Structure 1
Amino acid sequence: MAEPNFPPLPGFIPLKPCFYQDFEEIPEQNRTMCKRMYHLWIMNSVTLAVNLVGCFAWMFAGGGVTNFGLAIIWLLMFTPCSYVCWFRPIYKAFKTDSSFNFMAFFFVFMAQVGISIIQSIGIPGWGVCGWLATLSYFSYNILVALIMLVPTLMFTGVAALSFLALTRIHNSYRGSGGSMSKAQEEWTTGAWKNPQVQAAAQQAAMGAAMGGMQEHHSSPQYDNQV
């Protein structure tokens, strides 16, 4: 089993990587889309960090401490959670063509799209610099409003790209014959747990079947005696 290499942590941090990630192990037809989803995850994480800066400026301009505190929670909680909950499933789905992982991705990523839309709207008191919060602050402090506008535009971009990615992956999955019943079958048989073992079992079964066919054709034939 390959040694975990992600996240790439500096040597002075007493923690070790938790996941193995190598896009070369993704089939070529899915590799580009898998990399795009990884870049989308990075963009979402950077947006949360920029939002923290925007909420910091917002706090000093009279926006309150609550938004800044929630912005810290958004960054610290949703950055690792989004990686584990929707990027890892789509990574494994692209790697093994697993319907179960595709379904897990769709379920979580639809929530991610909804969260991104809410973040771009920017409801005051939610710890995000969205359109409602930013536009309302232009009449109070233009400089702070301009700082808040940066994460607002980034949240909007993340929401739009997330929706496009969800639509494209869903259409590709359905076009390849994927379905909920296939995911349920994987769950029942346990194929989603260890695709390598399942592949080996299938190859062994095919080998046994081919051997049986060869034995049948090579068996001696006797003429009927009168």
Structure 2
Amino acid sequence: MSGFDSNPFVDPVDVNPFQDPSVTQLTTSNTERVGEYNPFSGNSTLTTPTLTTIPAQPAPSQPAVLQPSVEPSPQVTAAAAQANLLRQQEELERKAAELDRKEQEMQNKNLAAGVKENNWPPLPKICPIKPCFYQDITGEIPIEFQRVCKMIYYLWMFHCVTLFLNLLACLALFTTNSAKGVDFGLSILWLILFSPCAFLCWYRPVYKAFRSDSSFNFFFFFFVFFFQLVVYIIQAVGIPNWGNSGWITAISTIGTNVAVSVVMMVVAGFFTVCAVMAVILLKMVHSMYRRTGASFQKAQQEFSQGVLTNRTFQSAATTAASTAAQSAFQRN
């Protein structure tokens, strides 16, 4: 019955879990070890890793020494200058070769693209003299000017044929009358002189005027072609001893030799046709010139621009200025 008298909710033995021998032993030993550990003492019961500190050795200090400057010798300087000049020369030669290559490529491209080559006068390929001008009335001249330009070109051709026939007529006259040698000699001169001069002085200017609507070329054509008209009239009249088979010379030869007189009359008729055609073409070109809007002020502007941009004129002006300056300096 005693077992039923005990209270089951009352522990007869006050059990302290921290009084357990195993727990007490562990806590006691750890406490003593922690108490005995002194981090600042050299001897400790705990085994701890020791760190060895190596003191830094100061770098040996040396006084700063200024190195003396060594100037290159004249031979070294001359060699360096010569090497620099050679390098510059090689660079210039390389650039020149590059420019030549590019220029050749441009020429090849232009030829491949159909650049216009000179085609007048039409000479055979075996001839050493090459054409000097490019002429294409159909391709370069506007349609409204092509007819007049062709007529002026035909007039120049007729002019050359007339001068050649004049030479033959004067030769025939010289064979019948030895005193007419002056006319024959002058007829040769007129053929050699007037044929190329007419092409250069009035046909090419009017060709350029029609091609580029140039006021300066129009005025140049009018100025020269007017004198050409006067020459045609003089040649058609036929003043004796002037080298022209005109009407006066042809009529005066009838009594001496009729055949020669007839030949000279034919030539006189050719000179007359040249004069008439010159008057007609001069009026036609003038009417076209007025429709193009050209003016004298525009011609002056074109002339000034052409002269100032001409390299020959620039070099001549520079030479003249330098010569004048040198002479003035020498006088002073």
TM-score in terms of structure 1 length: 0.81
Cα deviation, residue 190, structure 1: 3.4
The answer to whether structure 1 residue 187 and structure 2 residue 315 are counterparts is no
Q: How far apart, CA to CA, are the structure 1 residues paired with 2:266 and 2:125?
A: 33
The question of whether the paired residues in 2 share the 8 Å contact of 1:100 and 1:192 is answered with no
Cα deviation, residue 13, structure 1: 3.0
Task: Name which of 143, 146, 157 aligns with 1:31.
Answer: 146
The question of whether the paired residues in 1 share the 8 Å contact of 2:173 and 2:180 is answered with yes
The question of whether the paired residues in 2 share the 8 Å contact of 1:129 and 1:151 is answered with yes
Task: Name which of 81, 84, 89 aligns with 2:205.
Answer: 89
Cross-structure match for 1:197: none
The answer to whether structure 1 residue 45 and structure 2 residue 160 are counterparts is yes
Give aligned pairs, total: 194
Over aligned residues, Cα RMSD in angstroms?
Answer: 1.8
The code of the aligned residue for 1:22 comes to D
The answer to whether structure 1 residue 69 and structure 2 residue 204 are counterparts is no
Q: How far apart, CA to CA, are the structure 1 residues paired with 2:131 and 2:167?
A: 26
The answer to whether structure 1 residue 8 and structure 2 residue 122 are counterparts is yes
Cross-structure match for 2:279: 163
Task: Name which of 119, 125, 141 aligns with 2:241.
Answer: 125
Contiguous gaps of at least 5 residues in structure 2: 1-114, 311-332
Q: How far apart, CA to CA, are the structure 1 residues paired with 2:292 and 2:123?
A: 37
Q: Cα–Cα, structure 1 residues 144 and 98, in superposed 2: closer, same or farther, change >3 Å?
A: same
Encode CA deviations 1:62-120: one digit per residue, 9 max, x unaligned: 15211111111111111111001110000000000000110111111111101111100
The question of whether the paired residues in 1 share the 8 Å contact of 2:148 and 2:284 is answered with no
Cα deviation, residue 192, structure 1: 11
Cα deviation, residue 141, structure 1: 1.1
Encode CA deviations 1:148-204: one digit per residue, 9 max, x unaligned: 11111000000110011111111221233222112112223339989xxxxxxxxxx
SS in 2 for 1:16: coil
Name whichever of 32-41 and 2-11 sits farther off. Answer: 2-11
Deviating beyond 6 angstroms after TM superposition, the runs of 4 or more aligned structure 1 residues are 191-194
Cross-structure match for 2:269: 153
Task: Name which of 174, 177, 197 aligns with 1:59.
Answer: 174
TM-score in terms of structure 2 length: 0.56
Q: How far apart, CA to CA, are the structure 2 residues paired with 1:152 and 1:39?
A: 19
Cross-structure match for 1:116: 232
Q: How far apart, CA to CA, are the structure 2 residues paired with 1:43 and 1:85?
A: 16
Q: Over alpha carbons, which structure has the higher Rg?
A: 2
The answer to whether structure 1 residue 22 and structure 2 residue 136 are counterparts is yes
The question of whether the paired residues in 1 share the 8 Å contact of 2:214 and 2:294 is answered with no
Q: Cα–Cα, structure 1 residues 11 and 154, in superposed 2: closer, same or farther, change >3 Å?
A: same
Cα deviation, residue 3, structure 1: 1.3
Encode CA deviations 1:194-220: one digit per residue, 9 max, x unaligned: 9xxxxxxxxxxxxxxxxxxxxxxxxxx
- Between Structure 1 and Structure 2, which shows a larger proportion of helix residues? 1
Cα deviation, residue 32, structure 1: 1.0
Q: Cα–Cα, structure 1 residues 48 and 101, in superposed 2: closer, same or farther, change >3 Å?
A: same
Q: How far apart, CA to CA, are the structure 2 residues paired with 1:140 and 1:193?
A: 60
SS in 2 for 1:64: helix
Cross-structure match for 1:103: 219
Instruction: Return the structure number with greater relative CO, CA threshold 8 A, min gap 6.
Output: 1
The question of whether the paired residues in 2 share the 8 Å contact of 1:26 and 1:95 is answered with yes
Q: Cα–Cα, structure 1 residues 192 and 48, in superposed 2: closer, same or farther, change >3 Å?
A: farther
Cα deviation, residue 61, structure 1: 1.4
The code of the aligned residue for 1:123 comes to I
Contiguous gaps of at least 5 residues in structure 1: 195-226
The question of whether the paired residues in 2 share the 8 Å contact of 1:59 and 1:65 is answered with yes
Cross-structure match for 2:94: none
Cα deviation, residue 11, structure 1: 3.5
